Amino acid sequence: PGFAPSVFPEPIPEVENQRHPKDRYVRLSAHPDFDATDDHRPFADWQGIRPPMTSLERRLPRGDGFRLCIMLEQGLYREKGDLTPPALDELEDASRRTRAMWADFWSASSVALDDDLLEACWYHNLYFLRCTLHPDGTFPGLYGNWMLRRAGAVWHGDYHMNYNTQQPTWGLFSSNHCELHQPYVRLVERHLPLAEADARDYYQLPGAAFPHTSYPIELTEVTPRNPDMGWEMCETPWWVQSLWWHYTYTGDTELLRTRLYPAIRSATAFMAAYLSRPEARLEGDDRYHIFPTVPPELYCFTPGLEKNRDCLADLTLTRFLFNAFLQSTEILGRTDEEADLRQTVRTILDHYPDYPRGETADGPVFVGVGGEDPNIVYNCPISTMSVFPGEEHGLSTRASDPDTYQTLVRTYQRQYNEGGNDLVHLHLQAARLGQLDIEKFKRQIRYCLTPGGTCTDMVMQAGGRYGDWSEFDFMENLGIWVENFALPAVINECLMQSWDGNIRLFPNWDPSRDAAFTTLRAKGAFLVSAALANGQVRFLEVRAETGGPLRVVNPWPGCPVTARETGTGTTCQLPGETLVIETAPGACWRFTAETPSV
């Protein structure tokens, strides 16, 4: 699992067989220990002749068994040797290692749902993710490993950084598979020097300006920006967002210091400088604007750059980045060292543009960019991106800012999406708001499901880039859409949420349907297990990996709760709507409610 080779060009075309020193090869071979029978078909044709079998029709010999070794090899081309099929004991050892790998993978987390479709969707897509991701491998592009001839050839199967590439990471952390995020960390690390050079040479600004597209090969410069999507300024913060998630879900301070922080800091330096340019200020306006820019998957450059300022996607992701930077410097003790940049970031946040809104007959809604028609058909659900991936709003907003929450709910309910990029993204946003219609979600899964068990993207709405003449399933034949392997993220958010540091159980689940999960990962490096039966939470256990404050929204509203540390037997009474415990590293706490019905 997780194989994706890098390919290098021939450096001296006029020299026969001359190859780049880093050129790689792939070789697939089959080695049977038997000869297939060369027989004729059992039935005669219309002329009474029994034709010989083709190579794919030949039968295995009768006997006690056989051995067929299928080998997939890869490496540097200059090191390619002769084929040497492994011995039987080597095959058995490889089989043992493979079984152990899968056993370890499936032991990390699990779900048991009174919903066959969603439970199968969770397991199938985690399996597919593991088949395209390896902790030591290359992060997949649009179509992962599954590219052959025309399949996966569209957009060259490359990296698209306005959601496609990032989306497979969305369910890794909550599903407790942080190790599979390592290939993405390396992807960012590999591009960081190139992005810093582009910021310096093209923008004449400090920091790193990450590109819209790239490729899983060794590059000497960033991909040249095209005049539309290449100017989506949200992509620089989006490149590094999951690096901050990696820390918040694992608490790995050393990894933050050595590998995650450098890219977060460099992206922050660029975005802060970009917003501070004189061209980005308006006369008589004390705000720091993001200009010019392009909304994801929409408009490109517009006449007079009317819709090329302060896109909602830019604003929410840049705010996320700035807050991650400020918190990182505090965690790493770099507040004095980064005093100037911290002050610049704080000043920008104190004079930040308002998020664009539009008026409808139902009331105000958020829109992708100022001046936009609220009835626009989106290809990417950008008007609700402050919910996700921005992580500024969600269920907690219902109490802290009810007007904004109602505006977000209205925005979600009125939003038109054409079907290109919404199977995971839009439904994850809905779950964060507690608004996901699970039956509707399941209908779209069935609509997008392929015979192989993967989900493609299907046309949902005319009036945007698609019309009544569009083939509703045209994307199904383009290849296997790796981005939709993130479907477990939506299911996880229905079972548990922790985006704001407060763990919520079954926040978007039908209480009449039983559900249980083990060791889903929450922010703060907590592993959570819980069960819901007959409309009540029957079990809750939380293990703290790194320790620290644990905050759980009381799943038994109005009932006092007892928490017991399973190792020491220490108990405490926790009243209130939010259960708060200071945990030690490795501690495991079990919660019960003091009510006869639980």
> SS3 of 400, please?
helix
Contacts of 255 (CB under 8 A, 6+ apart): 246, 247
DSSP states along 354-373: PPPEEEETTEEEE-SSTT--
CA dist list (Å): 447 to 129, 425, 451? 21, 16, 11
Tens digit of each residue's pLDDT, the chain (598 residues): 343 444 555 555 556 567 778 787 888 888 887 777 777 887 888 888 888 888 777 777 777 777 788 888 888 888 888 888 888 888 889 889 999 999 999 999 999 999 999 999 999 999 999 999 999 999 999 999 888 778 888 888 899 999 999 999 999 999 999 999 999 999 999 999 999 999 999 999 999 999 999 988 888 888 877 778 889 999 999 999 999 999 999 999 999 999 999 999 999 999 999 999 999 988 789 999 999 999 998 888 899 999 999 999 999 999 999 999 999 999 999 999 999 999 999 999 999 999 999 999 999 999 999 999 999 999 999 999 999 999 999 999 999 999 999 999 999 999 999 998 899 999 999 999 999 999 999 999 999 999 999 999 999 999 988 999 999 999 988 999 999 999 999 999 999 999 999 999 999 999 999 999 999 999 999 999 999 999 999 999 999 999 999 999 999 998 989 999 999 999 999 988 999 999 999 999 999 997 655 4
> SS3 of 543, please?
strand
What pLDDT does 598 receive? 43
Contacts of 46 (CB under 8 A, 6+ apart): none
What pLDDT does 2 receive? 40
* pTM, entire model: 0.92
Sequence-separated contacts (24+) of 54-61 with Cβ below 8 Å:
60/34, 60/36, 61/34, 61/35, 61/36, 61/37
Tell me how far the alpha carbon of residue 505 is from its chain's centroid: 22
Please tell me the distance from the alpha carbon of residue 488 to that of residue 171, in angstroms, as a whole number: 6
Reading phi first (left if > 0) and then psi (alpha if -120 to 50, else beta), residue 299 is in left
Please tell me the distance from the alpha carbon of residue 234 to that of residue 216, in angstroms, as a whole number: 21
> SS3 of 416, please?
strand
The phi, psi pair for 17, rounded to 5°, reads 65, 15
What pLDDT does 151 receive? 82
Please tell me the distance from the alpha carbon of residue 270 to that of residue 321, in angstroms, as a whole number: 11
- Do 233 and 290 touch, CB atoms closer than 8 A? yes
Best CA proximity match to 522, nearest among 539, 554, 538, 546: 546
Q: Which residues of 153-174 are buried (b: 16+ CB within 10 A; e: fewer)?
A: eeeebbbbbbbbbbbbbbbbbb
The DSSP output letter for 94 is: H
Mapping DSSP onto H, E and C, the string for 4-72 reads CCCCCCCCCCCCCCCCCCCCEEEEEEEEECCCCECCECCCCCCCCCCCECCCCCCECCCCCCCCEEEEE
